[in-house]
Structure 1
């Protein structure tokens, strides 16, 4: 497999339609638009079914990149993996993280060992009645393995974060299934987000060997002892298939970046965040600091968050699931986002709500990317 150079660029945004930062980096030559493989973003929407900031952000990016690539906006969306996560509650700050990949003849001097690698794949389109069920699990598992191959990663232990964008149900999609005589996993659009996220996460667990037993349809959102330690899934109205992005370390990479991860057992698991940062050689005190002697600096942190489904955190009751004014996912993003931002010294971090089968119940995976200089 050819050697690849993977780049990571974190760019603040002034709104979901703001592409000025990305365009400035393209104009300056810092980013070659032809090398862009994936864009992960946080938008200031509500993160719910009707959060159209996600679709708006993707549309703005595709339109801006179309002229740079000589493609139509639709063709851009087919070429590049866009994953927009709505919700920047608390101190979280809207931004995008751009991942690039290009082939190089050989590794530059000074780069050794396994370095950051990225791969992408997509599932087929799903029928509404397949969301949240075994078909979505099986097809996602296939796509994860394809993305690993695309990234040049053979060993599942070298996979540190799998980001998936998955569909949700709308009333029209539920009615379409019923017209064919089929029932969907739920008739609630909001609940369908959790079913889709959960099934997608279980697909990651199957692909990586984290779950080896057969998974039944009724296990989704019930068997919380079944989970992936590296899955991050986000539901959206704008698609009917899963987009899979695998991030890990590979001998085939000539990147100046490295990724590591840990697993939060609950929403206040500070040691897990510290462990993720230390896994990429970062020094953690009152806040993350570059290790000048090791030549490393933090680029971004990616994490999942959810309100513990048993209604408690370390034996004490929480009210996130009982608040009728604010959804529990918004509470969770704000809480975990604040914890991570306090350690990182910045609110420009990627925290996504809804961690069904993504880490233990009430917790979630947390990954860190560092640049070596």
Structure 2
């Protein structure tokens, strides 16, 4: 049976421009650069509009991979999905997670569903479309296309959907105004939330988690509408959505498996443990399984409380609430996973219940 095999490599980085770990794996033959499909990374920037560590990391990776692929750096960026999440507050450790995919034979004795990955992207958006219905609809279409690319037919087998989405700048707002249109917000930082939220609602629509009758008025207002597997991250470097679907498929010959749970709030250790247990890890791990990485969203509860107790994350004018949330959730997950090299992204609008967020774990199986 001809199948697809997916491999996952977590690589520590000494800085946003550090590509030495990836290059070492390519030189050793562990990674075929032609098989790289996506790279998810954590960089030590502030995670805000002016966090250029994300763009710097992508540029460094594209420049390093270009001669290996016989392409220009610009062509590499078009071929591979790069999603860099800024902000490694607290014990979070900068790193990249590289996903490769190639055709392979399913080994004898391997049964069940294994890790699969699919990619798609939307068309470019106009600034006035960000955070609104157009972004929801187009994202839903791209999620379904990425599921098909991963050969996943059942939404229950989708465990994490990572999206890189655009944000607004003053120039983009001015361009919309020049056409006689208004944007969802004129504030660049707020636009990150609108874009993340609309993208997450697109995931929820695509997977049937909510109905398709969701629109402009629901974004950042109806927090009862959310996806349990969406993880969206805004950046200045693009005007379309890049969609990466991670799930399990019977047509995969991968040595990896993914599972997830949903955190109800920023201190939901039970959900993190459930995500680990979903792939045979946790308090009593199955033999022959090792943790590769954990992917999670972090959010400061919009009502200003966690389990009835007031927090000040939303009222701190010195440090953004998303940075507080990443540090808190990152510390919780790191303590349970035994490593700070985990992917925790801030800003979970419509990504899990208000104040919470999805958490997914990938394990390697030796059987």
Question: TM-score scaled by structure 2?
Answer: 0.99
Q: Quick one: distance in 2 between partners of 1:136 and 1:74?
A: 25
Q: In structure 1, which of residues 290, 315, 319 is the aligned counterpart of residue 312 of structure 2?
A: 319
Instruction: Show the 5 A alignment for 1:101-116.
Output: 101-104=101-104, 106-116=105-115
Find runs of 4+ consecutive structure 1 residues off by over 3 angstroms.
Answer: none
Cα distance, 1:213 vs. partner?
A: 4.8
Measure, in 2, the Cα distance between the counterparts of 1:207 and 1:216.
14
- Find the residue that maps to 2:209 and give its secondary structure: coil
Distance, in Å, in 1 between the alignment partners of 2:283 and 2:41 is 25
Asked whether the equivalents of residues 284 and 343 of structure 1 are also in contact (C-alpha less than 8 Å), the reply is no
Match of 1:355 among 334, 348, 352: 348
Deviations 1:92-144 (A, max 9, x none): 0000000000001x211332110000000000000000000000000000000
Cα deviation code 1:163-220 (max 9, x no counterpart):
0000000000000000000000000000000000000000000000000151120110
Quick one: structure 1 residues 244 and 213, their matched pair in 2 at CA, closer, same or farther if it must change by over 3 Å? Answer: closer
**Structure 2: how far apart are the matches of 1:345 and 1:166?**
31
Of 278, 296, 302, the match for 1:309: 302
What secondary structure is seen at the aligned counterpart in 1 of 2:91? coil
The aligned residue for residue 38 of structure 1 is 38
Task: Name the CA distance, whole Å, in 2 between partners of 1:56 and 1:206.
Answer: 33
SS across alignment from 2:314: coil
Tell me, in whole angstroms, the C-alpha distance in 1 between the residues paired with 2:28 and 2:200. 38
Between the two proteins, the alignment pairs up a number of residues equal to: 366
- Return the alpha-carbon distance in structure 2 between the equivalents of residues 2 and 177 of structure 1: 49
The corresponding residue for 1:174 is 173
The superposition leaves residues 281-337 of structure 1 with CA deviations (integer Å, 9 ceiling, x where unpaired) of 01327xxxx532xx1110000000010000000011000000000000000000000
Shift of 1:2: 4.7
Structure-2 residue corresponding to 1:235: 234
Is 2:63 the partner of 1:67? Answer: no
User: Partner of 2:138 in structure 1?
Assistant: 139
Structure 1 Cα separation of the partners of residues 212 and 141 of structure 2: 17
In structure 2, the residue corresponding to 1:185 is in which secondary structure? coil
Counterpart mapping for 1:1-373 below 5 A: 2-104=2-104, 106-284=105-283, 291-292=286-287, 295-373=288-366
Quick one: distance in 2 between partners of 1:343 and 1:360? 21
Whether the aligned pair in 1 keeps the contact of 2:2 and 2:106 (CA below 8 Å) is: no
User: Is the CA contact (8 Å cut-off) linking 1:163 and 1:244 kept in structure 2?
Assistant: yes
Task: Find the residue that maps to 2:67 and give its secondary structure.
Answer: helix
SS in 1 for 2:291: strand
Gaps of at least 5 residues in structure 1 are none
- Preserved contact between residue 111 and residue 256 of structure 1 (Cα < 8 Å): no
SS in 2 for 1:21: helix
